Amino acid sequence: MPTPPFDLFIIGAGSGGVRAARLAAQRGRRVAVAESAALGGTCVNLGCIPKKLYSYAAHYAESFEEAQGFGWSAERPTLDWERLKHNRAVEIARLNDVYEKLLGNAGVTLIEGRARLAGADAVEVDGQLYRTERILVATGGWPAPPDVPGGELAISSNEVFDLPQFPHRLVVVGGGYIACEFASIFRGLGAEVTQLYRGLQVLRGFDDDVRAFLAEEMRKKGVDLRTHAQVERIERAAGALRVVLRDGSTIAADSVLYATGRKPNTAGLGLAEAGVTLAANGAVVVDESYRSSVANLYAIGDVIDRVQLTPVALAEAMALVEHLYGDSGRAVDYGLVPTAVFTNPSIGTIGCSEAHARERYGAVRVYRSDFRPLRHTLSGSSERTLMKLVVDDATDRVVGLHMVGAEAGEIVQGFAVAMKAGATKAVFDATIGIHPTAAEEFVTMRTPVPA
């Protein structure tokens, strides 16, 4: 039997797929990657990077206004939507080129086209068959389409970055982090934003104090955030769109953004036909070593629907390559994964919410601080910052750390290292703060709030 031409064939050149390809190739393996879209996957092209760039853009109007409190005077700024889109596209193209060079320099064979399994040891790309010893599926996720009449009139987060005209009236449907982020971004860019969520409070799964605090801050900044609001249908009306709610009320919009979840991107890959077990939502079911029900087929990243974050996909890629071609026994710890939400103000969080901690540990202490940052004593802004620690009473370990405020992600990343190392509240208390910063609040909170 002839030796397969590839040791590892990867379907998908997103963050996880590219990392796995490079690491495997650096270990002397013959690696191919198939991709039908731009290199870098969702994060580079339609997610983290462009979203963060637009988030930066959204803060400038507010910063110009706040500058008056510090003695600056300037004409009211205006947004050039076309320039913003163009500059973003140039940066994304640069990153696409970086990814291509990374693969090429590592000796990875890049195959452009839509891949599909052709048995347990073969992949077909646009009619060409490739034999391989192992297959890795790293195809990420895809926005779930709206399930309402007129849903085809809505856009997803895939299209929102390149709208032909700036949406002066934007309706955002959803209450997850993507919906909240885009509501904040487009409000900051100058749109009238209405956010609709059918549940009780946005950001289900986050700490309840964080959820309530952010919702109030978003409303203060002008987002018309409505809970218990359910869309009945979307229709065209006078050259625009009309969103009809279940209670009979209507909202006029230039664009309607549906951000109600993402699904694993497994359609059309031939996985079920090859005997790969899929979850109800299409996710590839894998074991602790990322092996599917087919012995030589693996999957990582959003397509396995564990933790849908780029750094997690990167960690899974490194763990998988070590498992297949190394001897380190690397494993991904999903217990303490820090994350940020780029709303205005932003969120940084790691560990347990208060409710989860009480359920898991029983007796916990909670420390909470809500204050006006020094910057806003002159800026005139009413924005406030929330910081919260959740401590396991039995061990004194900090098991949850949450922040809503400026640069929350930057601040929480450092504390994530401390929590990963098992820091206790006593260690936090013994740490000298940097004054005057918001971050020092995490090491100066001394009195727990009443249970």
Average pLDDT over residues 221-234: 98
Residue 235 confidence (pLDDT): 98
In the chain, residues under CATH classification 3.30.390.30 are: 345-443
- Give DSSP secondary structure letters for 222-280: T-EEEES--EEEEEEETTEEEEEETTS-EEEESEEEE-S-EEE--TTS-TTTTT--B-T
CATH of domain 6-143+263-325: 3.50.50.60
How does pLDDT run across 353-363, given as a tens digit for each residue? 999 999 999 99
Q: Where do you find CATH 3.50.50.60 in the chain? A: 6-143+263-325, 151-259
Distance of CA 72 to the CA centre of its chain: 35
410-444 pLDDT tens trace = 999 999 999 999 999 999 999 999 999 999 999 99
CATH fold group of domain 345-443: Enolase-like; domain 1 (3.30.390)
If you average pLDDT over residues 161-176, what whole number do you get?
A: 98
Percent pLDDT > 90 in the chain is: 96
State the sign of the Cα–Cα–Cα–Cα dihedral 262, 153, 149, 195: positive
Whether the pLDDT of residue 180 is over 60: the answer is yes
- Please tell me the number of Cα atoms within 13 Å of 403 on its side-chain side: 25
In this structure, are residues 348 and 411 in contact, taking their beta carbons and an 8 Å threshold? yes
Identity of the residue numbered 317: A
pLDDT band at residue 327 under the 50/70/90 scheme: confident
Per-residue pLDDT, 1: 46
Which of these is catalytic: 168, 356, 376, 435? 435
* Active site (annotated) includes residue 356: no
DSSP per residue over 375-426, as a string? THHHH-----EEEEEEEETTT-BEEEEEEESTTHHHHHHHHHHHHHTT-BHH
pLDDT band at 3 (very low <50, low <70, confident <90, very high): low
Cis peptide leading into 436, omega within 30 of 0? Answer: yes
Question: What pTM, to 2 d.p., does this model score?
Answer: 0.96
Please compute the mean of the pLDDT values over residues 7-26 and round it to a whole number.
Answer: 98
Average confidence (pLDDT) over 85-93: 98
Q: How crowded is residue 351: how many other Cβ atoms within 10 Å of its Cβ?
A: 23
pLDDT tens, position by position, 376-418: 999 999 999 999 999 999 999 999 999 999 999 999 999 999 9
Q: What is the pLDDT of residue 391?
A: 98
The angle at the Cα of 390, spanning 384 to 392, to the nearest 5 degrees, equals: 170
Cα–Cα distance for residue pair 138/41, rounded to 1 Å: 10
- How distant, in Å, are the alpha carbons of 14, 16, 96 from that of 309? 12, 10, 19
- Mean model confidence pLDDT for the chain: 96
The CATH topology of domain 151-259 is FAD/NAD(P)-binding domain (3.50.50)
